Amino acid sequence: MPRIGLISRKYGAKPRAATALSAVAPLKDHGSVAFVVPADPNLRSSFGDTSPQPHPSWLEVAEHMCERMPNFDSRLQGTTVLESNLDNGNTEALDTIASADTVLLLGCHHSDTPQRLKDALARANGRSSSSSGSESSGPPVAVLAHASSDDVMGLQRVDNFKLSGGNPLARVAGKRVPWTRAARGKRLLNQASMLLDRNSSEDLLYALFFVLGAYVVKDLELVSACEA
């Protein structure tokens, strides 16, 4: 399928309904992931050490994940966003990230990416606060990153737990009060980081599915089977 603008492929479910992150969102019947990757095909990933075609580009990794996600559950959608379009302030790129349930940045090192990502999340927060009973897109429940710059990695969060910055009370609760939202977010973020560090497509998918199953998509059978 040809790449149109910033988005290379879309698969599976429709874009998500609006949810505010001030409270845990109710689980839904569909979920979406925005993969942010560099456009340069010569930037090789750390994936595929044992593959017949090792170290595909980050763009190839993302598009492969978009293809595979609906095979596990048809309610899931993946969309690829090129980092260069995000850095250029492309409106469609910002909107795609703002409307996703989860964002995963892979191999992103451009100096403008952290601020543009913040811009996209601010758009989502603005939509949530301005909505009055009607459905609108809320902010992604999670921002994950792998093999990216320190500034990008520092923007990771799950629910109300942020890896850096954010509410100091939530960070303390994440460490010391295990039954809180922040602690749950911290556990899922640590789990996602561990799985992503394995540099395999299967573990990458599991990292996403555990987050989506916890906060976004109800009755995600793959997650239920793993937790049984």
CA dist., res. 82 & res. 113, Å (int): 11
pLDDT at residue 131 in the model: 52
Name the average pLDDT for the chain.
81
In contact, 173 and 165? CB cutoff 8 Å: no
Count of structural domains, the chain: 1
Instruction: Please indicate, yes or no, if residue 135 is contained in any of the structural domains.
Output: yes
CA dist., res. 166 & res. 21, Å (int): 14
pLDDT at residue 114 in the model: 95
In contact, 160 and 182? CB cutoff 8 Å: yes
Q: DSSP of 159-228, one letter per residue?
A: TTEESSSS-HHHHHHHHH-TTSHHHHHHHHHHHHHHHHTT--HHHHHHHHHHHHHHHTBTT-HHHHHHH-
Instruction: Please indicate, yes or no, if residue 2 is contained in any of the structural domains.
Output: no
pLDDT at residue 89 in the model: 87
Record the tokens describing residue 25, joined without a space: 């969102």
Instruction: Please indicate, yes or no, if residue 23 is contained in any of the structural domains.
Output: no
Instruction: Please indicate, yes or no, if residue 21 is contained in any of the structural domains.
Output: no
Q: Which residues of the chain have pLDDT under 50?
A: 1-23, 132-136, 166, 170-171, 173-174
Residue type at 125 in one-letter notation:
N
pLDDT at residue 220 in the model: 84
pLDDT at residue 173 in the model: 47
pLDDT at residue 219 in the model: 86
CA 23, 154, 119, 172 torsion: positive or negative? positive
pTM here? Answer: 0.82
Question: Which structural domain range is residue 166 located in?
Answer: 7-13+28-220
Helix (H) or strand (E) holding 86: helix 83-87
Instruction: Please indicate, yes or no, if residue 79 is contained in any of the structural domains.
Output: yes
Instruction: Please indicate, yes or no, if residue 20 is contained in any of the structural domains.
Output: no
User: 31 pairs with which residues across the strands?
Assistant: 76
Instruction: Please indicate, yes or no, if residue 185 is contained in any of the structural domains.
Output: yes
Instruction: Please indicate, yes or no, if residue 227 is contained in any of the structural domains.
Output: no
